[in-house]
Amino acid sequence: MPNTFAEQISTKLNETLLSLPFASDLPEGFVAQVDQAQNRQFGDYQSNAAMILAKQLKKNPREIASTIADAFDGGALTDKPEIAGPGFINFRLKPEALSTRLDLLIEDEKLAVSAAGEKKTIVADFSAPNVAKPMHVGHIRSTIIGDSLCRIARFLGHDVIADNHIGDWGTQFGMILWGWKNVLNEEALEEDPIGELVRVYKLVNGRQKEEEGLRDECKQELVKLQAGDEENLAIWKKCIELSKQGLQKIYGLLDIEFDYWLGESFYNDALAPLVEELMKEGIAEESDGAICVFFPENEKMADKPALIRKSDGGFLYATSDLATIDYRINELKADAIWYVVGAPQQLHFDQIFAIAGKRGQNANFEFIPFGSILDKNGKMLKTRDGDPVQLADVLNESIERAYKVVDEKNPDFPEEEKKQIAEVIGIGAVKYAELSQFRMTDYKFDWDTMLALKGNTAPYLINAYVRTRAIFRKMGDDFQPGGNLVLTEDAEKDLALKLAQFAETVPAVLNDFRPNTLAAYLYELATTYHRFWEACPVLRAEGDVRYTRLALCELTGRVLRCGLGLLGIRTTEKM
RNA sequence: GCGCCCGUAGCUCAGCUGGAUAGAGCAACGGACUUCUAAUCCGUAGGUCCCGUGUUCGAAUCACGGCGGGCGUGCCA
């Protein structure tokens, strides 16, 4: 796939620099950057190379800029560059360059997005809910961000393995087992398995805080489970089965799939040998009865050891995370492992990655943290106590609100269609609300913010897509390539440029794992299209103009569908 | 104590590797539907980018120091 406009201009610019009298004075390895223009009044692309070079060459930046601009041959790509401000070099694309690009996009399923240079096997660890506890809004971030990053990485040609590392082992099972045996309501379990498990968990969790005896009994149940007691093992398996069914329902609604569900319990047998090994290698040592790894070489963690075995012999989540890394590197052949996990776990992952380093495991580990969702009082939502809003309720409420709007605007649509549209829009709205903001930003949970349907939201983008489809529906035919493109109106050129820049946007998302940059691009594309829509009639136009506008509609539709797809958001033909 | 993150319009937030007059949405106000979906578009108004110092031709962005908030920090995950 040919390079993006930014790359093409950059190549020409650097060639130009080497042809100039001061070429030999350029700093070693200097490469001129070309960026999208901040403001369209200055052109389409800009470079600040002259200002950077001014210091090195001890010359006036505007003088250097004009030397460069004079020597720059834009060919079929750009007009003669202009100098502005303190020494910016501004480039404006020729309409022919835009048309050529559009012709290429029409032919290319991937819409000119190049595959990543080096294909990697990436294991993505996200969502990871706990068994027998409901998914609440706190899980939404990991789940939606992780899924989107997977889709983008796959689109760029990587092998991506989505692994749902569910919490299916641990202290909560002591309480659940005791509850199952003592306070379980069989009928309720039939009717609403998850609901009943949650009720039992909460009930026992609440009581054991007060009653010391109960706390011990729960602990006994846990010990029996870990020792392989048949009855407890059977109950445990049943709980996981029921929980998975409930989780699948939500993932189905969210249109999210995992390649593996390798929960914590999968690694149980690996934990004891792993600790042994770490001791033998001198990486771990005994301290106050527990087995720890110390990091004296790292200033920040020098006083923060990682515990991998408790003094009572039990293992911790650091231990199972280490065993998980072994499996992912050795069995799944991971080159990279991505953890989409809340920011509070920064230290934990610093430690885990440091231990992996000590063991010589040099996969590319990425901790991809996100900020907290706060309650009305600005406090973090906690799973343990209180009643955080359940994810399923958020999704259902969102679909319901979307349905009301569909029903109001299109009362004549068949019931089934209205429901489908409401689902696409409702789920899309929740996902877009999450993905359109920077992942580290904390936010207060608010129904109206999360489920908004106006402004910079999923329905706005989907509406732009629907409009592209409405044209072809009205025309009664699909887009037929092969015509002659002529871009004359500003609205057409603006749109063409935006479409071309999809290829500059998608790969950049993975630089810092920011799906919100893609969301922002799609919003701008939709806005640009809506403006084009107001300014340029399509079906009333004729000849090349009509063909050009049809092509712009077709491509806008494809980029929106593809881009929204990368965010995990579906589209609909009507709304 | 130490570490990490955050502080931008009335509200919710963009603004990655430093670039030109700091941008959106919501809310407010004023316009545009005999037209391919008005879930749209156009316009008005709204700012000590927490404070200070430094680096730089240039700082919301980088460094250092404060202030405010959140989270984490040896036997939960």
Length of chain A (residues): 575
Helix (H) or strand (E) holding A374: strand A373-374
Contact in structure between A383 and A355 (CB atoms under 8 Å): no
Question: Taking CA A449 as the corner, what is the angle to CA A444 and CA A452, rounded to the nearest 5 degrees?
Answer: 165
Residue A529 CB closer than 7 angstroms to strand B?
no
Q: What is the pLDDT of residue A428?
A: 97
Q: How far is the CA of A203 from the C1' of B15 (A)?
A: 47
Tally Cβ neighbours within 10 Å of residue A415: 8
CB proximity list for A418: less than 8 A, separation 6 or greater: A403, A406, A407, A410
Question: Shortest CA–C1' contact from A443: which nucleotide?
Answer: B12
8-state DSSP, A90: E
Q: How far is the CA of A37 from the C1' of B49 (A)?
A: 22
CB proximity list for A362: less than 8 A, separation 6 or greater: none
Q: What is the pLDDT of residue A387?
A: 66
Q: What is the pLDDT of residue A446?
A: 85
Q: What is the pLDDT of residue A40?
A: 82
Q: What is the pLDDT of residue A158?
A: 97
Question: Which residues 45-84 in chain A have a CB closer than 7 A to strand B?
Answer: 46, 48, 51-52, 54-55, 61, 84
**b/e map of A535-572 (b: 16 or more CB within 10 Å)?**
ebebeeeeeebbbbbbbbbbbbbbbbbbbbbbbbbbbb
Whole-number Å distance between alpha carbons of A318 and A315: 8
List, in order of start, the domains of chain A with CATH numbers.
Answer: 5-93 (3.30.1360.70), 391-566 (1.10.730.10)
Task: Output the tens digit of pLDDT for each of chain A's 575 residues.
Answer: 569 999 999 999 999 999 988 888 888 778 899 999 988 888 999 999 999 998 778 888 999 999 999 999 999 999 999 999 899 999 999 999 999 999 999 999 999 999 988 999 999 999 999 887 778 888 899 999 999 999 999 999 999 999 999 999 988 899 999 999 999 999 999 998 888 998 898 888 888 878 888 888 998 898 899 888 999 999 999 999 999 999 999 999 999 999 999 999 999 999 999 999 999 999 999 999 999 999 999 888 999 999 999 999 999 999 999 999 999 999 999 999 999 999 999 999 999 999 999 999 989 999 999 999 887 777 777 654 456 788 999 999 999 999 999 999 999 999 999 999 999 999 999 999 999 999 999 988 888 888 889 899 999 999 999 999 999 999 999 999 999 999 999 999 999 999 999 999 999 999 999 999 999 999 999 999 999 999 999 999 999 999 999 999 999 999 999 999 999 999 999 99
Q: Locate A65 and state its tokens.
A: 């800029």
Residue A38 CB closer than 7 angstroms to strand B?
yes
Whole-number Å distance between alpha carbons of A173 and A226: 10
Q: Which residue approaches B13 most closely, CA to C1'?
A: A437
Q: Which residue approaches B16 most closely, CA to C1'?
A: A512
In this prediction, the answer to ipTM > 0.90 reads yes
Helix (H) or strand (E) holding A365: strand A364-370
Contact in structure between A314 and A169 (CB atoms under 8 Å): no
Residue A354 CB closer than 7 angstroms to strand B?
no
Comparing C-alpha atoms, which of A453, A452, A433, A463 is closest to residue A527?
A463
Whole-number Å distance between alpha carbons of A570 and A420: 11
**b/e map of A279-299 (b: 16 or more CB within 10 Å)?**
eeeeebeeeeebbebbbeeee
Amino acid at the residue A155: F
* 3 state SS of A227: coil
Q: Locate A390 and state its tokens.
A: 């359940």
Q: What is the pLDDT of residue A117?
A: 85
Residue A284 CB closer than 7 angstroms to strand B?
no
Whole-number Å distance between alpha carbons of A51 and A65: 8
Comparing C-alpha atoms, which of A449, A461, A441, A325 is closest to residue A394?
A449
Question: Shortest CA–C1' contact from A531: which nucleotide?
Answer: B41
Q: How many Å is the Cα radius of gyration of chain A?
A: 28
Q: Locate A522 and state its tokens.
A: 């799609």
Whole-number Å distance between alpha carbons of A173 and A161: 28
Q: Which residues pair with A91 in a beta bridge?
A: A45
Residue A249 CB closer than 7 angstroms to strand B?
no
Question: Shortest CA–C1' contact from A319: which nucleotide?
Answer: B77
Which strand B nucleotides have any atom less than 7 A from protein CB atoms?
A: 1-7, 12-17, 19-21, 23-27, 35-42, 56-58, 69-77
Residue A31 CB closer than 7 angstroms to strand B?
no
Q: How far is the CA of A365 from the C1' of B57 (A)?
A: 40
